[in-house]
Structure 1
């Protein structure tokens, strides 16, 4: 869809063409993949901007859009359908959030409550209630606050920047290189960054960035479901199978102990085609997970979801998505244009 211009998307949206084709794919399973709901241009924002899926205002508009066109289901509804216990409504849609950021409580939860819409939040359990940042937020913070304009970075060597755009380009280049490393090597490189960029990190720098377990329980009591997203958020194909099992089982057990409810849903960290495999799916099945979610582009055909319940597609959202672009994504335009993708 990147080849479709903004003007073309606006014309398609305003002409009602998306609504016209919407009934033609009524049984598709649409799963939205959010991360953070925040304003990356707001005062004090100094963490990883690409992880912001929508501003609070845009998120409310998006929820109104889908409420008028889809039947929003819960994770329990999806599990019951996968297990043959119930059918799904036409135009079923599941709302999900990855990682467990505090802004899900502050900005997404009130919008969902006002509209009586369920959702699932996938928690990386080691971070809940902790001031420990995800590595991408630590990296972004260091780049935001450094006064340097060059650094000799592990993996990619000497890099220079002179403005926000070039600094962001270096940040993303290094982050993409890090993702290819085994998890332990990745953290060895990341932990050098504050020194390399001459940035101080205090114990409370990232306080309040993640949900606490009390907040998780508060949301659970109102119908928000919790799923597992590992303990420490490694890319699971970059660690041993023994460590992967520990990450999966440990996160599931911790959430179940905290909320006193079974956890049946999982989302793969990073979620691309090289980030999960049959061995991981076998472990998930052994741990009684009923469904697992990727970031392969959705929506998903019902037959595919039933055949591959541990590799369900989702629609990745970004705060730069205009409402017409959001509409095109959610209505399945990218997959209609490339159905084999």
Structure 2
């Protein structure tokens, strides 16, 4: 038996502007990943694993919990069916205002604008970004994404709208990329776990205390009311070091959560702070067999050294 847990995290399965891939590659890759996990590990529900570790109990050898962030619509027709075919449990973290249609996902809106870009350059914050080639556009998008993560949400949303107006025509009508409330209810009815990913997906440490509290309290309230079940697990948006802090963790505890996952790679042990749980973020194209081989050979050192090369965080 073991007292360590590897928490894995995904976002979407099918390609999106922010997470591009060849059509069908995401589903095939995700199926291969689940096959490897089935062969190499034991999947445990995140909530149960947290309870077991908190009580000083033992987990199965190579215990793994599977999680998903943001509320992508393909969860219902790609992620959940793939999990169910193998009898695996997932925990899905939802953004309540995305479910309500009040906001979009700024990272996808930025990527979509660059996908449809017709401008040859962009003047922004005293810098000229070359947009004449696909590689240049990808570089500009990545640089702007990183810059926008350093500001508060209101500034970020306004900036994305202004950038999109400058570089691309208005977006066309398309199928929804994210779940709405009926979709979230259908997800909850599958028996998989549901958690909070805040109200509007801000980077919490960039916000003031009142805004952080509102994001944590109101998301939990909306999800519990809308889904008719207890919601007491949290995933910090972005989730890297500096995206949440001690005050954020204290506010999360006060808001009624009992644990929170980050995107800081590592293994979760019995003495891990419950509001700073390590998690390894993947794309559907990550080689999970390679990942588990490195876990077996290097133990906890894997998480801080190797996984950063396997998949970026969103």
Asked if residue 310 in structure 1 is aligned to residue 275 in structure 2, the reply is: yes
Q: Which has the larger radius of gyration?
A: 1
CA distance in 2, matches of 1:97, 1:291: 16
SS of structure 2 residue aligned to 1:253: helix
CA distance in 1, matches of 2:241, 2:163: 29
CA distance in 1, matches of 2:303, 2:190: 38
CA distance in 2, matches of 1:331, 1:32: 16
Contact 1:27-1:91 at 8 Å conserved across structures: no
Which one of 114, 117, 129 corresponds to residue 88 of structure 2?
A: 117
2:60 is matched with 89
Contact 1:297-1:315 at 8 Å conserved across structures: yes
Asked if residue 151 in structure 1 is aligned to residue 122 in structure 2, the reply is: yes
- The change in CA–CA distance for 1:82 and 1:143 in structure 2 (over 3 A counts) is same
Over residues 89-134 of structure 1, what are the superposed CA-to-partner deviations in whole Å (9 max), with x where a residue is unaligned?
2322110001010011121111011111111000011001528421
State the number of aligned residues: 304
Contact 1:298-1:332 at 8 Å conserved across structures: no
SS of structure 2 residue aligned to 1:233: coil
Gaps of 5+ in 2: 307-314
Contact 2:266-2:302 at 8 Å conserved across structures: no
Asked if residue 295 in structure 1 is aligned to residue 263 in structure 2, the reply is: yes
2:311 is matched with none
2:131 is matched with 161
Contact 1:149-1:162 at 8 Å conserved across structures: yes
Gaps of 5+ in 1: 1-22
- The change in CA–CA distance for 1:337 and 1:257 in structure 2 (over 3 A counts) is closer
Which one of 173, 182, 190 corresponds to residue 214 of structure 1?
A: 182
5 Å matches for 1:1-341? 26-38=2-14, 40=15, 45=16, 47-49=17-19, 55-84=26-55, 87-128=58-99, 130=101, 132-153=103-124, 155=125, 157-201=127-171, 204-205=173-174, 207-304=175-272, 308-328=273-293, 331=296, 333=298, 335-336=300-301
Contact 1:37-1:55 at 8 Å conserved across structures: yes
1:3 is matched with none
CA distance in 2, matches of 1:161, 1:145: 11
SS of structure 1 residue aligned to 2:263: strand
CA distance in 2, matches of 1:141, 1:35: 17
2:312 is matched with none
Note the C-alpha offset of 1:232.
0.4
SS of structure 2 residue aligned to 1:49: coil
CA distance in 1, matches of 2:171, 2:304: 47
Contact 2:235-2:262 at 8 Å conserved across structures: yes
CA distance in 1, matches of 2:170, 2:234: 35
- The change in CA–CA distance for 1:214 and 1:338 in structure 2 (over 3 A counts) is closer
Contact 2:4-2:59 at 8 Å conserved across structures: no
CA distance in 1, matches of 2:107, 2:304: 32
Note the C-alpha offset of 1:172.
0.4
TM-score (norm 2): 0.88
